[in-house]
Chain A
Amino acid sequence: MTDARVVGIGMTEFGVHDRPLPELFADAAFEAFDDAGVEGVDIDAFYLGNAMGGQTERDTHLAPTLATHVGIAGVPCQRYEDACATSSNAFKHAVRAVEAGDHDVVLVGGVERCTPTTGLDTPEMTSIFASAAHRQYEQPTGLTFPGVFGLLTTRHMHEYGTTEEELAAVAVKNHRHGTLNPRAQFGKEITVEDVLEGPVVASPFRLMDCCPFSDGAAAVVVTNDEIAGTLDGDPVGVAGIGHATDVIPLADKADLTATQSARDAASQAYEAAGTGPDDLDVVEVHDCFTGAEVLAIEALDLVEDGEGGRAAVEGLTALEGRIPVNPSGGLKAKGHPIGATGVAQLVELTEQLRGDAGDRQVEGAERALAHNLGGDAATTVVTILEGAT
């Protein structure tokens, strides 16, 4: 078995992109090719993340379509769908194939368009997002995804005294980080008052507790350590990946605040990488809602259970804090084009480990973790990357 390396990264700005998925994806893919120093002819396989194209774009069998558009027709292609954890699952399988020696150089990417400007209006998109909830036992109640995380977070507030002000502090932090990321959808700082004065989407979340609807694409080139040494791209090592699921529907979960799949995936990833939470320098977590970041940092054992709410208030998770969380701005400020999000987290962390993250660089970052969650936390993929030493 060989070790996998990320050797090329690319992503579009997240925001509004009024052009077809193949054109949007090509921008990210070619940026990743050029960064790695490869051409389409060098690519052995393609792993795509796209969660909702069948519903939002009336577009399926996307992997060979996109492969053809970027000049790699003929290679084995596969598309993954795991709600918001879609492209980190694609990445996991790409890494496994490289480690097993099945493929030498693979393209992994995600693309999605979710903005009302380029597609469906807010009620229709809210309905499509809600389709990740149980079809028979959750959707008929009118549960939405802000509502799913509203249920998890309301319980956390009850058990631990987490407050709306603490949730707002997560949004304030991630917006501030987003101002330092030229690819982020939101580039403006906000205040706790701005968040608390916003309209409710699903309690306890107000508008600015929620990530936006976004269009965007992200891509990485993955190869083995031997080939990585021959390419231009500055390689980053894949130290460990964990992938776990939990029961659906959420009423059957043993514990609403644990996000158990994240705990299980994190244990697997920490073990595979031979590391632990204290050894991490920078983390990207799936902050689809402010409360989701609170649950995530507890599940990853970055803070004790019940202390997630205070982390942003106390500056612990800020860029200059003990453990910087979401230097990219996270889903909250960078944006969340569903199928692109998992790979976009890896793009950010690769830049951090290369020392290429500009104004949002975490000084001396050597070990990084990505937490990408799908649905009501019924899927979580945790990936640990390490800089070349």
Chain B
Amino acid sequence: MSADESRASAPLSYDEWASALEDGELLGQRCTACGHETAAPKAACGRCGSRGLETVSLPTKGVVYSETTIAVAPAGFDGGSYRVAVIDLGEARVLARLEGDAGIGDSVEFVGSLEGREEPAPLFA
């Protein structure tokens, strides 16, 4: 693929990622050079540096890769304990809020965006 083709369109922006998330779709990027996938859009591939990135719709089913229950929250995150997890989606991993008691290795599903926040975060259950 020529540089022109791979850079034909602007890379997925945060605004596009955030509005899709609010509409119930988890977008990501796939590197056309090395195949690396991410749920955190960038201007170039985090693994190989290539600017050849295509926007992909990420799988809605995944497996918990790691998790933590946060009891001492930052300012603006009132409401006691909540769980944050790294979810393995196959090629990509995503940091998300996790509802329920799934542990590492358990299957979980993308259920939308964390409610009541100005800035969206993926929610899995």
Contact = CB atoms under 8 A, between A and B. Distances in A.
- Name A's interface SS: helix
A17 to B, nearest CB: 23
Interface in A177-226: 199-204
Nearest to A253: B93
Contacts of B40: 134, 136-137, 249, 251-252
Interface in A58-98: none
A147 B39 contact: no
Contacts of B108: none
A250 B86 contact: yes
Contacts of A134: 40
Interface string B83-125: 0111000001111110000001100000000100101111000
A290 B55 CA distance: 39
- Please indicate which of the listed interface residues B72, B75, B76, B97 has the most CB atoms of chain A within 10 Å of its own CB: B72
B74 A202 contact: no
B71 to A, nearest CB: 5
A158 B104 contact: yes
A256 B65 contact: yes
B104 A141 contact: no
Contacts, number: 115
Nearest to A137: B40
Interface string B5-49: 000000000100010000000000000000000111000001100
A203 B104 contact: no
B60 interface: no
Contacts of B65: 155, 256
- Interface residues on chain A, size class: 35 or more
A199 B71 contact: yes
Interface stretch (A39-47, A122-130, A338-346, A362-370): A122-130
B37 to A, nearest CB: 9
A124 B72 CA distance: 11
A203 B69 contact: yes
Contact of A144 (B38, B74, B114): B74
B27 to A, nearest CB: 12
A154 B65 CA distance: 9
A152 B73 contact: no
Contacts of B66: 151-152, 154-155, 158, 256
Nearest to B21: A140
A127 B65 CA distance: 25
A247 B92 CA distance: 14
Contacts of A256: 65-66, 86
Given A136-B14, A140-B121, A146 B70 contact: yes
Contacts of B54: none
- Please indicate which of the listed interface residues A123, A139, A201, A251 has the most CB atoms of chain B within 10 Å of its own CB: A251
Contact of B114 (A130, A140, A251, A252): A140
B57 interface: no
B119 A130 contact: no
A68 to B, nearest CB: 33
A201 B77 contact: no
A141 B14 CA distance: 15
Given A136-B14, A249-B40, A251-B94, A123 B73 contact: yes
Contacts of B38: 251-252
A274 interface: no
A131 to B, nearest CB: 9
A143 interface: yes
Interface of A: 122-124, 126-127, 130, 134, 136-144, 146-147, 150-152, 154-155, 158, 199-204, 247, 249-252, 254, 256
12 contacts: A124-B75, A127-B75, A137-B40, A137-B95, A154-B67, A154-B104, A158-B105, A200-B71, A202-B71, A203-B71, A250-B95, A251-B92
